[in-house]
């Protein structure tokens, strides 16, 4: 198989720590279909099904919510003073274990498991890409990189939280070196699209790597520079991926977790560039 900002004064469910991963608080990939119009298509106004009920897609965020910010500003990060206030406590709970891997969704994780947060557009397809990767211990989806504590999905979609849709990837570096994990990230999406990914437009869909250890930061920056040259040679623009220290991570609602396991034919907007990233290694699963 191919290696296929904390809010001041408030405590998230946990905060990232660092070494050891402990925490306390261009064809589409297999199984994905390109974004398109319609109930499960792309675009800022698409319907994204929620809790998996046959024939009962979850309504999109209301016009009142989405119109908090004009569409022309959906690609601008909100200023901290204009961000939604959020709340002190989450409005929902999470299951204890991953629906596919059976491992814990929330920290603490076993010794040796490290955590990297990745943003690749819609987090549904991105999470599946990583839970299918050998050496990954667990995954979950959530919101990171913005200002609003304990946000809801609708609030993130409004563009007034500053958060990106991200995947928490807990991995074993002994089985999956960081370079291999980054190869999956770079080749799995188009990191040159700014505040969008395919038909999904908005700051929440930006490409990003949020690191928890210094070696992760160094590897992320080196791999970006190496891949940027390949992309330029292939006719792509500059890499726009945000690379920053991970702040507070706010898990998404239960129905988003392992969504494409619950709804196998659900929307998946992943689509890479077809350009090979010149880092990492190939290993057989098992």
| Tens-digit pLDDT string for the chain (286 aa) | 333 333 344 444 444 434 333 333 344 444 454 443 333 333 333 334 333 443 344 444 443 444 445 545 789 999 999 999 999 999 999 999 999 999 999 899 999 999 999 999 999 999 999 999 999 999 999 999 999 999 999 999 999 999 999 999 999 999 999 999 999 999 999 999 999 999 999 999 999 999 999 999 999 999 999 999 999 999 999 999 999 999 999 999 999 999 999 999 999 999 999 999 998 533 333 3
**DSSP letters spanning 15-41:** EE--GGG-EE---PPTT-----SSTT-
d(CA 200, CA 205): 7
Residue 122 known to be catalytic:
yes
In the CATH hierarchy, which fold is given to the domain comprising 1-7+101-286?
3.30.1060
Catalytic residue among 32, 122, 157, 268: 122
The SS3 assignment for 242 reads strand
- pLDDT for position 73: 72
Q: What would the two tokens of residue 137 be?
A: 């211990």
Beta bridge partners of 245: 211
Residues in contact with 48: Cβ distance below 8 Å, sequence separation at least 6, in sequence order = 40, 57, 58, 60, 122, 267
- pLDDT for position 279: 83
d(CA 257, CA 272): 22
- pLDDT for position 3: 39
- pLDDT for position 65: 44
- pLDDT for position 280: 54
**DSSP letters spanning 56-93:** -PPPPPPHHHHTTS-GGGTTSPPPGGGS----SS-SS-
The H or E element that residue 249 is part of is strand 249-251
d(CA 202, CA 60): 15
Q: Look at strands 164-171 and 114-120 and give their pairing.
A: antiparallel
- pLDDT for position 100: 99
Which sequence spans correspond to the domains of the chain? Answer: 1-7+101-286
């Amino acid at each position: 198989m191919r290696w296929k900002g904390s809010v001041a004064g408030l405590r998230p469910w946990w905060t990232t720590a660092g070494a050891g991963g402990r925490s306390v608080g261009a064809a589409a990939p297999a199984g994905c279909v390109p974004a398109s119009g319609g109930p499960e298509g792309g675009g800022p106004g698409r319907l994204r099904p929620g809790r998996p009920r046959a024939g009962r897609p979850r309504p999109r965020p209301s016009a009142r919510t989405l119109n908090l910010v004009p569409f022309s500003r959906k690609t601008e990060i909100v200023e901290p003073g204009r961000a939604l206030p959020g709340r002190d406590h989450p409005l929902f709970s999470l299951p204890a274990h991953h629906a596919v891997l059976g491992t814990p969704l929330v920290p603490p994780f076993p010794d040796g498991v490290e955590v990297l947060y990745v943003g690749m557009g819609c987090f549904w397809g991105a999470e599946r890409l990583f839970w299918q990767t050998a050496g990954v211990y667990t995954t979950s989806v959530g919101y990171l990189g913005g200002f609003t504590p304990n946000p809801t999905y609708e609030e993130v979609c409004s563009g007034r939280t500053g958060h990106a849709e991200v995947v928490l990837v807990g991995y074993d570096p002994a089985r999956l070196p960081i370079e291999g994990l980054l190869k999956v990230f770079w080749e799995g999406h188009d990191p040159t699209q700014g505040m969008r990914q395919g038909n999904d437009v908005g700051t929440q869909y930006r490409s990003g790597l949020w690191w928890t250890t210094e070696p992760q930061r160094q590897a992320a920056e080196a791999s970006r520079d190496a891949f940027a040259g390949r992309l330029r040679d292939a006719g792509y623009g500059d890499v726009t991926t945000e690379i920053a220290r991970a702040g507070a991570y706010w898990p998404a609602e239960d129905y988003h977790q392992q969504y494409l396991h619950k709804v196998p034919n659900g929307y998946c907007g992943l689509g890479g560039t077809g350009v090979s990233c010149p880092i990492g290694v190939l290993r057989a699963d098992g």
